[in-house]
């Protein structure tokens, strides 16, 4: 379970550019929940993900992962507990290293490195099997530098890398936004399958209203650093993109 209690973050405090990015956000996410987060630019959705990942210390509040207080842990200290996929398909991987080498490094996340971190036949067979799960034929290209892959292929592999060692929480930061529609749809299908099969607790930020209504078991709408709307499975089931856009319009009117 993920527990966030009265989380606050202000950037540029006391300056003309002060931004109250998070305003006492409190949120509980149960194990296995797939939560989709939407909101306008500056609403705090990416700041929320960065706070969970340890990108900065909050000004106040508390973050717990499965009962462990991680509020003051640095990002690298949280690495063994968190999997993350960024918007840019070229983030989170080493482009000159092979697919196999990138996967091997991901499989060692949070584990002390020893001389036995190389790729023997047994490890290559395991990585080949896991790559085959993507259904892209990448298991036959394990020696290919990952920088030569298409955006969709690379993002699918990044998703696999983030979940090779089951994380306490998987953070998806607009991970399909930079892809063409066909690749985005393919990566979302993979996302749903991996999250479901491994029962992963997941938080996904998206600007795509179609993704927001068709994926995930819960939906949060953020506005001016707060959670303005929290819809669980039953309430979310009847949503359409048009309804969500209408709720955005309501929030803008209320903020005037």
Ordered structural domains, the chain, with CATH: 2-95+150-255 (3.40.50.300)
Q: Is the pLDDT reported for residue 255 higher than 70?
A: no
Q: What pLDDT does residue 115 have?
A: 46
Q: What pLDDT does residue 68 have?
A: 92
Distance CA 183, CA 177 (A): 10
Instruction: Tell the residue number behind the tokens 């717990």, with chain if given.
Output: 64
Distance CA 81, CA 169 (A): 7
Mean pLDDT value across residues 235-244:
88
Distance CA 128, CA 107 (A): 13
Mean pLDDT value across residues 39-43:
89
Q: What pLDDT does residue 123 have?
A: 83
Least confidently predicted of 43-47, 107-111, 180-184? 107-111
Closest CA to 252 of 38, 40, 74: 40
pLDDT digits (tens, 9 = 90+) for 112-138: 555 455 677 888 898 999 999 888 999
Q: Is the pLDDT reported for residue 220 higher than 80?
A: yes
pLDDT higher for 177 or 254?
Answer: 177
pLDDT digits (tens, 9 = 90+) for 160-207: 999 988 899 999 999 999 999 999 999 999 999 999 999 999 999 999
pLDDT digits (tens, 9 = 90+) for 64-76: 999 999 999 998 8
Distance CA 177, CA 130 (A): 25
Mean pLDDT value across residues 226-239:
89
Mean pLDDT value across residues 231-238:
86
Helix (H) or strand (E) holding 11: strand 2-11
Distances in Å between the Cα of 83 and the Cα atoms of 108, 129, 167 are 12, 20, 6
Closest CA to 65 of 166, 197, 215, 173: 166
Q: Against a cut of 0.85, is the pTM above it?
A: yes
Helices first, then strands: H and E counts in the chain:
9, 10
Distance CA 103, CA 109 (A): 10
Q: What pLDDT does residue 93 have?
A: 87
Q: Is the pLDDT reported for residue 256 higher than 90?
A: no
Distances in Å between the Cα of 187 and the Cα atoms of 82, 85, 190, 212, 255 are 20, 11, 5, 14, 35
* Residues forming beta bridges with residue 241, ordered by sequence position: none
Length of the chain: 256
Token pair recorded at residue 6 = 């009265």
pLDDT mean across residues, the chain: 90
Q: What pLDDT does residue 80 have?
A: 85
Task: Lay out the sheet containing 202-205: strands in order across.
Answer: 82-85, 169-173, 202-205, 34-39, 218-223, 226-232
Contact (Cβ atoms closer than 8 angstroms) between residue 7 and residue 26: yes
């Amino acid at each position: 379970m993920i527990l966030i209690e009265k989380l606050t973050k202000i950037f540029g405090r006391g300056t003309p550019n002060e931004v109250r990015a998070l305003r006492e956000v409190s949120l509980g996410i149960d194990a296995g929940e797939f939560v989709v987060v939407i909101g306008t630019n500056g609403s705090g959705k990416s700041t929320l993900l960065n706070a969970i990942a340890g990108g900065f210390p909050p000004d106040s509040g508390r973050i717990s992962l499965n009962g462990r207080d991680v509020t003051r842990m640095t990002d690298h200290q949280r690495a063994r507990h968190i999997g993350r996929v960024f918007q840019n398909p070229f983030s989170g991987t080493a482009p000159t290293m092979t697919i196999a080498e990138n996967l091997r490094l991901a499989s060692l996340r949070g584990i002390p490195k020893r001389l036995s971190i190389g790729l023997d036949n047994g490890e290559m067979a395991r990585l080949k099997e896991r790559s085959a799960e993507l259904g892209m034929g990448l298991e036959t290209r394990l020696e290919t530098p990952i920088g030569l892959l298409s955006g969709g292929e690379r993002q699918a592999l990044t998703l696999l890398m983030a979940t090779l060692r089951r994380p306490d929480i998987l953070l998806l930061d607009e991970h399909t936004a930079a892809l063409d529609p066909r690749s985005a749809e393919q990566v979302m299908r993979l996302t749903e399958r991996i999250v479901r099969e491994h029962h992963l607790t997941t938080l996904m930020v998206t600007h795509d209203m179609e993704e927001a209504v068709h994926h995930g078991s819960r939906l949060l709408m953020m506005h001016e650093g707060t959670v303005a709307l929290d819809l669980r499975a039953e309430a979310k089931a009847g949503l359409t993109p048009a309804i969500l856009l209408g709720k955005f319009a309501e929030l803008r009117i209320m903020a005037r």
